[in-house]
Chain A
Amino acid sequence: MSNYITIQREELYPFIQDKFSQGFNYLLDITAIDYSEYVKTQDEEFAVVYIIRHEDFKQTIVIKSYLSILEVQTVTDIFSGADWLEREVYDQYGIIFKDHKNLRRVLNHHGFKGHPLRRSYPITKGQLSLCVDDLQDEMNNRLLGKSVVCKLEDGSFSDCSKDLMFLNLGPSHPASHGTIRTYLALDGETIEAAVTEIGYLHRGFEKSCENHTYNQIIPYTDRLNYCSAISNNIAFAKTVEDMLGVTLPPRGQAIRVLLLELSRIEDHLVCLAAILVDMGAMTNYWYMYNPRESIYELLSKLTGARLTNSYMRIGGMTNDLHDDFESDLNNALLKVKEGVEETLSLIKHNRIFHDRTQNIGIISPEDAINASLTGPNLRASGVAYDMRKDNPYYGYENYEFDVVVGSVGDVYDRIMVRFEEIQQSSKIIDQVMRTMPDGEINIKDASIVLPKKEAVYTTIEGVMNQFKLTYEGVKVPVNEYYGSIEATNGELGFFIVSDGSGTPYKVKVKAPSFTAIAAYADMIEGLQLADSVLTLGSLNIIAGEMDR
């Protein structure tokens, strides 16, 4: 459970430093809240929030500080992962982080005026971007740190001491997996320095949440990590249910576990298919991608959609499993098993595969934790952190499965961890199907779950209930809450501020891909150009979740 603490702005840095020395060394998220239209009057208009976890991965603290002036001391010297998180808060809220070395926009384009997540910013006020940021300034600062350039007296940068070539990898590039731009300084084939620019798919999820009801947000969550839509649905629905203080009936929980694990398989299949194509191993794409089609068939039957399922609701889900669900599931799992076996038989003892992936893009366990990596990427570095074991929910403690860890933290480990996680997930699904309880799938509470269609058509209470819930939304008590689950890419969390109405006052996503891409530039410096492509692929960056 999380512990919520409020402290003074001046004491924020020493407090976090103190907590760090007590073992709170895993930074989850940094965000801010604009209280200007909040239901409870606050002393100050803005507050900044830090969510930090203990090294035992069980205790979490949420530190909040009200800001009399919009400036706080940076914590980048304590957590390297804070770098981009602070930039995001600056970008979205305009809060200055003192002594931050590179405080510039990260999600919105460089010509953007104002800070969109402030309540005063109109949601539909778009701003045209006329040109692309050349990033040369940021690159020079990066090169300065490597003593390749030096700063002249007039503040400009000297010429490079090495004969470097500057190259843009992306934003539109087959290996950039979405639109991510990496600006590289190359010495021959070796990457001397790298700068990453994201935000090309920043489509304003968090702002959109502020004018939709909780159930209307479910389709938006589908499009965060669109390779495994249902896991995002579950993460959001579970957080809101926790705020409401309700728990799903056993069957509902079991179905959620089942679909979470199926999503994990689905997601890992795409990741592995794509990275093998990047490596030139095209055949594996067909082996790994085709099983996804059988999963799509199953999900179409169950939810009505292939990719963006929107299956979950606050308090449960839209419908129970269909009649021949089990045979569809077995068929899909069989296809997955075959695909994985075929692929492994091609790559497991393949010299080219080993040479391209082993000891490439290494990140040590200490660095991985400090950079706030999560999920398979963190486990590949040898950190056995899995929320399903450390903070179990939905009865995960009753299922037998292993937490898969790597030993080196290179591209090979990240690939192989995913292969093994597919096996483990299949194992969990088998156990869920064997022990699937009967009964209700949704909680029984007319103020949360929509009434049955028969009741809507035949009774006045049903009509009223349906209307109120649809029109006003599920009313969540006034609260600030951080909830998370082990989604496919790692810990996916939602920090929600509720003002008691049917629409959240603020939603912040703790997105696994965001911290992974933040660590990417450090990982590829010193590598060959071709290795950067594989490193990016192995981190499984999903642009929708990263840019939100």
Chain B
Amino acid sequence: MGLNNPAMPIDTAIATKLDKAIGWARESSLWPMIFGTACCAIEFMSVAASKYDISRFGAEVVRFSPRQADLLIIAGTITYKQGPILKQIYDQMSEPKWVISMGACACSGGFYDNYSTMQGIDEIIPVDLYVGGCPPRPEALLDALLTLQADVKTNKYDPNRHKDFKGLLDNV
């Protein structure tokens, strides 16, 4: 926006839509909460380390408390045993919130088609973006982040988009 342009006269007023201003502010201040359970969490470590460096995109303030985060990244396999924990974490996050499902296991159970593995986290919580791969390369996760940011900026996400979502652990 060039707000720090020294050529700009002082006491400038800018007129814009409130939604636009909020979208612009949210875009580069996503605070991710990493629910890292398995191999994908190791790839997330790469995303956070210097080579891929997620902080270039303003999303490096990794919180491990869901109450302080607005982007939930599920990195790894979710088993039935983990189900209630994931649900609780999701519920504890305040609105607005977004969910990225990272890797084949979180998206669909991956190649663990068996008695203990949940066949995709969207059985219990709503997901906004799916990232394929086992594990996905760091670039893939960064691409998901950039896609999300672009949509957050333009307020593409309807706050009521998951109103009718009903997961396996809802109202049981």
Interface residues of chain A, those whose CB is within 8 Å of chain B, are 107-109, 116, 121-132, 171-174, 178-179, 199-204, 207-208, 219-220, 222-223, 226-227, 270, 285-286, 289-290, 292-293, 296, 306-308, 543-544
Contacts and interface: CB of A to CB of B under 8 A. Distances in A.
B113 A124 contact: yes
Given A208-B112, A285-B49, A307-B43, A129 B81 contact: yes
B160 interface: no
B38 A293 contact: no
A127 B137 contact: no
B118 to A, nearest CB: 7
Contact of B111 (A219, A293, A296, A307): A219
B85 A201 contact: no
A125 B115 CA distance: 5
B114 interface: yes
B135 to A, nearest CB: 6
B23 interface: no
Nearest to A132: B84
B116 A226 contact: no
A403 B135 CA distance: 34
Given A201-B38, A270-B42, A172 B89 contact: yes
B45 A270 contact: yes
A308 B137 CA distance: 11
Contact of A204 (B43, B114, B119, B168): B114
Contacts of A171: 82, 85
Nearest to A204: B114
B42 to A, nearest CB: 6
Contact of B77 (A107, A131, A201, A306): A201
B82 A200 contact: yes
B146 interface: no
Given A132-B85, A226-B38, A203 B46 contact: no
Of all A-B residue pairs in the complex, the 4 with the closest CB atoms, nearest first, are A204-B114, A226-B39, A109-B81, A174-B64
Q: Which of A123, A127, A199, A208 counts the most B-chain CB atoms under 10 A from its CB?
A: A208
A201 B76 contact: yes
Given A123-B115, A201-B77, A307-B135, A129 B84 contact: yes
A199 B83 CA distance: 12
Nearest to A107: B116
Nearest to A174: B64
